[in-house]
A and B are shown apart, each in its own frame.
Chain A
Amino acid sequence: MSAARRLARALATVAGVLMLGAALQELAPGDALTDLSGHTHLSQAERDRLRHRYGLDRPAALRWGAWLQGALRGDPGFSIAYQRPVGDLVWPRWRRTAAVGGLAFLLAWGTALPLAAAAALRRGAPWRLGLNALNRIFLALPALALAPLVLAAMLVAGGDGFGLIGPVVVLALVEGARALPALEQSIQTGLERPFVLAARARGRGMAGVLLGHVLRAELPALLSLAALAVAHLLTGSVIVEATFGYPGLGSLALEAVVARDPHLLITTFGVVAATVVGANLAADSAAAALAHAGSVS
């Protein structure tokens, strides 16, 4: 697939998600003002007045058309729950989640890659059994189970303003457990390639073979695994941010769903979809570029 086609497809997917977000919200009974939690004293007339003010009484096509027009100009509407422009909310939150996710990714892959390489090289070693068992246990501990455990451990260790540490540790453990078997498989495949065997037969050291041949050959597979990790880290961030009270994109999406905040909801989900699709696009393009470079040289 050419680069232009890939980009067009990614944009169409994000547009589809936006349409889905709008359609799902139209399906929902009521709107942001039907059950405003804690505002039960609002009279019907007052609700209708507010509805008119936020433009919720206009036809759906007009509302979403106006939102799209604004979003394309860089102003994705107004949040009723937060009483602030959505743009001011989403970007700082995106950066926070990206910081946690990025750190967790570095921690997880920084640990899992050497472990996977060592495991792929020493398939019969006794410590492999222990590693496998540990991996299985952590695979059975989703973010939902790990987050309270890590929170408990941190409370025991003392201190409450841990900021990034708790969310990063949980996400890194979840992602590391998920990535380890896949990475090991990938490195194993790489080690069995003919040119790797040839390089080893010529007396190239193990470290040189791993870095120079295996990783280079497996780079496309590793890139698509990393793109998958983005989606997984985002999923985990919802649970982790809710548990640790960390203000990121996951908790924002949750708040938008609970508050039935139309602009905030569609923008958050659009940004999440764009992040995932963007990561996949980057991985695909990089893999294509690598294949191209390989075929030229």
Chain B
Amino acid sequence: MRILCAVAFCALLLGAEFVAPVGGTVQDRVLSGAPPSLPRLRWSSGGPEWVVYPLERLGGRWRFQSDRPCRVSFLAGGESYRLLGLFETDLHLAIAATPARLSWLGMDELGRDRFARVIEGTRSSVILSIVALSVAVLSGLLLGAFAGWKGGFADRGLTMVADMLLALPGLFLLLALRAALPLLPAPGIEPLLVLAVLCCGAWIPVARAAQAQARMLREEGFVVAARSCGAGSFWLLRRHLLPGLWPLARAQMVPLLPALIIAEASLAYLGLGLREPAISLGTLIARVSVAHALQQPWELAPILALMFVLLLGSWLVSGARMPRPASWSGETI
């Protein structure tokens, strides 16, 4: 059940362009700030069919032109895109005939489809966080294991560096690291900068845990025995150290992933992470106009998307057989 949900969620994110009627960067200035236009069921001569009514703006108010129903066709061709960045196709899950536009969550103030933007933003946030998590866990494990195994200067040095970095609470550490990078990077390298900042902030807890574990394993009887039998350090590392560290790495990933998602979104929210035209949950939340939240509740979609991702993650993880930390959300960042 949990695995099915996870797969469905990944498919939704990866197939964002297919699920959404248009891409998240396509603009339709006429429809800027339009409310959602949802499909309605209507009886016609040929039986029931789904229709969408085109919107028009009259005197500052949006009105559906109910005399011009436009059919919704499923799995039909529309704007072309590259699925997964590979296959050129123009197939969309549901699309309305012109002049109507199917939009589940309305348009933003620049006339871009909010539903598409929320899915694509969630996708970039989740992918960035997962990549940062893998790099951080790998480098943290290696560094920590090395320091704990070697002992002496390396051990003390890593402890000191980690102490220092942990003295700056989460977001401040990321801001300090961000200060070392160009303020207005070229759009292409922006995700790389965000990755670098996230990785530099996230390896510390992993390294600390790995260090403690390696320090303990070094003194274990079976390691001492292997060493006395003439085992080389590579053998020891591969057969004795790394298997002992893997469960630890898994347990570390549990609180780190949501923390990274929140950190990435926070950086983008503050204008120091991904920036327009790149889409991230943070940039979307930064654009939410809270003044109209009551009249236009769909404005709040990016916030709910962040909440949904974190809830889904905590639910997925709660089933896995691993020690659950007391607080799942943001232990370190």
Q: What residues of chain A have their CB less than 8 Å away from a CB belonging to chain B?
A: 9, 12-14, 16-17, 20-21, 24-25, 27-30, 35, 136-137, 139-145, 148-149, 151-152, 155-156, 177-178, 181-182, 185, 230-232, 234-235, 238-239, 242, 250, 253-254, 256-258, 260, 265, 269, 272-273, 276-277
Contacts and interface: CB of A to CB of B under 8 A. Distances in A.
Contacts of B169: 230-232, 234-235, 272, 276
Given A145-B306, A260-B183, A253 B164 contact: no
B265 interface: yes
B303 A28 contact: no
A152 B327 contact: no
Nearest to A21: B176
Contacts of B314: 136, 139-140
A242 B168 CA distance: 19
B236 interface: no
Contacts of A13: 163-164, 167
A13 to B, nearest CB: 5
B270 A238 contact: yes
B328 interface: yes
A20 B306 contact: no
A148 B290 contact: yes
Max count, chain B CB within 10 A of own CB: residue among A141, A152, A258: A152
B93 interface: no
A173 to B, nearest CB: 12
B290 A144 contact: no
Which 3 residue pairs are nearest across A and B when measured between Cβ atoms?
A231-B169, A16-B164, A140-B310
Interface of B: 160-161, 163-165, 167-172, 175-184, 262, 265-266, 269-272, 282, 285, 288, 290-291, 293-294, 300, 303, 306-307, 310-311, 314, 326-330, 333
Max count, chain A CB within 10 A of own CB: residue among B183, B262, B288, B293: B183
Max count, chain B CB within 10 A of own CB: residue among A148, A156, A269: A148
A176 to B, nearest CB: 11
Majority secondary structure, A binding face: helix
6 contacts: A13-B164, A185-B326, A235-B169, A238-B270, A254-B270, A269-B172
Contacts of A24: 176-177, 179-180
Contacts of B306: 142, 144-145
Contacts of B180: 24-25, 27-28
A181 B328 CA distance: 10
Given A140-B314, A144-B282, A239-B266, A269 B176 contact: yes
Contacts of A137: 307, 311
Given A28-B182, A145-B303, A155-B290, A239 B171 contact: yes
